[in-house]
A and B are shown apart, each in its own frame.
Chain A
Amino acid sequence: MARVLINLPSQAKRGEIIEIKTLIAHPMESGYRLDNTGAAIPRDIINRFVCTYNGEEVFSAELFPAIAANPFIAFSTVATESGELVFAWTDDHGKTQTEVRQIIVE
């Protein structure tokens, strides 16, 4: 499990625009670098990020080799109702890391 930092308000007013900031530990190896012996280091990046809010996709991103290690993604959404936000990062090996955060909307 990679280390993840997610920042979003735990409470919000209905209709309020909330900012969500995410940071995940990942080498984002581009596939273009060589190791000490001259052999190519295989590509290993997170290629997709999706955030769903009560099951509905509110933000997604495709990531490419030029994106730096430990990608930071910030976006905003409208607080519609109480529930959970699910964050999912998928890497080149097809593995997905999922984190869940609750939000209370009044």
Chain B
Amino acid sequence: MRGLPLPALIVAAMATAAAETAPEAQRSGYDFAGREIRAMQDDDTTNPGMLWVMQGETLWAKKTGAADRSCADCHGDARISMKGAAARYPAFDAALDRPVDLEQRINQCRTERQHAQSLAWESEDLLALTAFVAHQSRGVPIAVRTDEQLRPFFALGNELFHRREGQLNLSCSQCHDDNWGKRLAGSVIPQGHPTGYPLYRLEWQSLGSLQRRLRNCMIGVRAAPYEYSAPEAVALELYLMERASGMPIETPAVRP
């Protein structure tokens, strides 16, 4: 046998290619969107995502659960306490010994501190709270930690991003690293940076989470999508956030 088996070589080559995306070449989905969609996002009075942010602000102050406590009772003014939080998630949770994303952290707070029922994924209330919290980080550059504890999860996300999947046998990287800026049917392929989640997609006519978007892409390549909250989904979120390091949070973004 001579040297490395071929698949290992391909994986190594892809990892190098991904690492070569220079920060100045980073493009948000915003840059690929049309003029009208950009205008919609830029004006808070036309951005439909702000409807969820408004609802989230109400929920932030509402007492709930057996503890009869609101988010504000512990965290105070979200404008101060939550500024930059979304730019650091997914973050490592010592008790669970794995990373959790923003939605999971909010639900953890609900069950453990408020003694309330956890909110279902993509429910209006969870989207609203997540959007409200993430909105406080608008403009803050993404900076997730990838230290010793998170390294294996980051490595898993990296591997999943480069793994071919589904009946179309495509990896995330083949579109979003190798072919961004080109067209997939009528749509421009973006670089796939999670800068604006939860975001308002015109196709959904609603706000949606990053995990919903990932599931969309996976169904698109005809792979079995990860369940909401699956460790693979969170690892992929972690990898994507690290890949978008330095890009400002836009929540709530608007996309076609």
Contacts and interface: CB of A to CB of B under 8 A. Distances in A.
Main SS class of interface, B: loop
Contact of A68 (B51, B55, B202): B202
Interface size class of B (residues with CB under 8 A): 10 to 19
B146 interface: no
A5 B205 contact: no
B45 A70 contact: no
Interface in B188-210: 202, 205-206
Given A5-B45, A21-B46, A69 B205 contact: yes
Nearest to B58: A3
A68 B202 CA distance: 9
B252 interface: no
Nearest to A4: B51
Given A3-B51, A3-B54, A70-B51, A23 B45 contact: yes
Contacts of B206: 69
B73 to A, nearest CB: 23
A72 B202 contact: no
Interface in B69-100: none
B205 A70 contact: yes
B205 A23 contact: no
B54 A72 contact: no
A23 B46 contact: yes
B48 interface: yes
Interface string B201-244: 01001100000000000000000000000000000000000000
B51 A23 contact: yes
A99 to B, nearest CB: 13
9 A-B pairs closest in CB distance = A7-B45, A69-B205, A3-B51, A25-B51, A70-B48, A21-B45, A3-B54, A3-B55, A68-B205
